[in-house]
Amino acid sequence: MNHRSVSLLLLMCILSPLGAQSMSLADAIKQAKAYNTDAQNAAITLSQKLNEAQINEYLPSIRLSAGATAQASLLDASYSANISPTATLSFSLSSANRYTDEQQSLSAQSAQSNYASTMQQIELAVTTAYWNVVAAELSLQMQQLEVAQKQEALERVRSEYEGGETTTLAVSQAELSLADAKLSKGSRERNLQEAKDQLSLLTGATVEGKLDDLLPIGELESLDALLALASSTTTIKKSELALEQAKLAYLEAQASSASPILSLDASTSFAANLSTTASTLRDATTVGVTISIPVDAYLKNSKANITLKNLDSDIEVAENTLEAGKKTLASSITSAYRSIEEAKKTIDYLGDYELLAQQSADLSQRAYDAGEISYRELAESQKSLSQAHLSLLAEQVNHTLLIHELAHLLQVPTTTLYKES
């Protein structure tokens, strides 16, 4: 573990409530997906699209019907009854519909892609809100520790004053320093509550207990290796599906308006008349084959001709959109990657600065104890150390968020981004 994380982990161990139920990021995302109405609607829409994709367009149409009559004569004591059941089965096939299965498959894939995209947006929103809570908690814990230190320092100065070893100015300065620390503590408490409220709004759950630790400062995989993962993301797959749908729309229009169409219609029926006096059974079967040759598409400026031209242009637009999407995603991945590398350098710098601030604070404490500097100078040195702690924490949180941003862009777990140790 690097020295920059030690103080944060110690604070968490000292100040986190024992026995509190933890709430991991994975738990928060799971709760948000179950609670979020957008997620619920996306799941319903996906189910509808998958049901539609299972429709069998080639099933025959079946119709059953029956009628019954009865008559009787009281004078000659006669009666008769008859039932007339009918069954008809028919189906129709056309070569213009040969892309139906492919269209249904693409529709199902598109629905799944849209669902995945919705889930990823929810994950990103929850992830950001979650780490904002973690950052606010750590910030508050630091400030709580500072308030405790300032309170202890004030009591020590008061004791020294009562012993005639210091002045009323030092006591006043210590009191002011404690008041400033308490004021900052109140501000950070409000920030924490606001962050928790935002996370609760997304998850529908009360934020309590220990949260996850910040992500480690590890060595990332090479940029080229991560860029190679981009082709399997939903972002690219959605554009690829749009291109396939544009191509299919052109083929469907061409099949119905610019190619010979072979149609087959067939039906068979059975009709019976079951009577107390006589019974009959009839059947009838018809088969029709039609070949039609549309010519509208070959006429300049006809509706069919313009439609095909526009659909062909749609393919070009979809291809351009796909290429632009690949470039945009690659640029976003590269930017996130470089931001992470820059954050790591900043964390190293701030870690070194924190050590210098700690040394300065220790020297100031010894100088104050020796009566060489005023309490105000000591407080300024301690304030610089507190700011160094806070700056380091802010950059560590920023690093964690950047890691999740890159993982979101690539749609992989954060562990995939790191080199194997």
What are the residue ranges spanned by the domains of the chain? 24-55+98-213, 66-97+270-293, 215-259+295-421
Per residue in 227-251, pLDDT (tens digit) is 999 999 998 999 999 999 999 999 8
Looking at residue 160, what DSSP letter applies?
A: H
Helix (H) or strand (E) holding 337: helix 303-369
H/E stretch holding 369 reads helix 303-369
Q: Hey, is 68 helix, strand or coil?
A: strand
Nearest of 415, 413, 416, 417 to residue 123 by alpha carbon: 413
Residue 19 — pLDDT band, cuts 50, 70, 90? very low
Facing residues of 193 across strands? none
- Cβ burial of 229 (10 Å; 0-12, 13-18, 19+) is middle
Query: CA 112 to CA 234: how far, in whole Å?
Result: 10
**Three-state SS at 191:** helix
Q: Which amino acid appears at position 281 of this protein?
A: L
Q: Give the count of alpha carbons within 13 A of 328, CB side only.
A: 10
Reading the block at residue 285, the tokens are 């079967």
Paired tokens of 284 = 């009838």
Cβ-in-10-Å burial (0-12, 13-18, 19+) of 1 comes to: exposed
CA–CA separation, 353 and 350 (whole Å): 5
What pLDDT, on a 0 to 100 scale, did the predictor assign at position 11?
Answer: 44
Name the percent of the chain in helix, strand, coil, to the closest 5: 70, 15, 20
CATH class of 24-55+98-213: mainly alpha
Assign domain 215-259+295-421 to its CATH superfamily.
Answer: Outer membrane efflux proteins (OEP) (1.20.1600.10)
Highest mean pLDDT among 3-17, 34-48, 182-196, 373-387: 182-196
User: Among the listed ranges 74-88, 104-118, 140-154, 202-216, which one has the minimum average pLDDT value?
Assistant: 74-88
Structure token pair of residue 214: 């910040």
Average pLDDT of span 12-20: 42
313 Cα distance to chain centroid: 32
Distance in angstroms (rounded) separating the CA atoms of residues 94 and 98: 7
Crossing angle of helices 100-162 and 168-203, in 10° steps, is 160
Tokens of 175: 């009191």
- Residue 156: pLDDT band with limits 50, 70, 90: confident
Contact 364, 382 (CB under 8 A): yes
Rg (the chain; Cα; Å) = 38
* Residue 6 confidence class, pLDDT cut points 50, 70, 90: very low
Q: What is the pLDDT of residue 8?
A: 43
Residue with tokens 């920059």: 4
- Provide the token pair at 232: 């399997």
Residue of 317, 7, 318 whose CA lies nearest to 138: 7
Read off the pLDDT of residues 290-327 as tens digits, 9 standing for 90 and up: 888 887 778 888 888 898 899 999 999 999 999 999 99
Q: Which helix (H) or strand (E) holds 209?
A: none
Domains 24-55+98-213 and 215-259+295-421 share a fold: yes
Cβ 414 vs Cβ 403: under 8 Å: yes
Q: Could you tell me if 196 and 132 are in contact, meaning their C-beta atoms sit under 8 angstroms apart?
A: no
Element (H, E) at 259: none
Q: Which two tokens stand for residue 202?
A: 């997304």
Rounded Cα distance, 218 and 212, in Å: 17
Residues in the chain, total: 421
Report the range of poorest mean pLDDT among 70-79, 158-167, 310-319: 70-79
Which helix (H) or strand (E) is 164 found in, with range? none
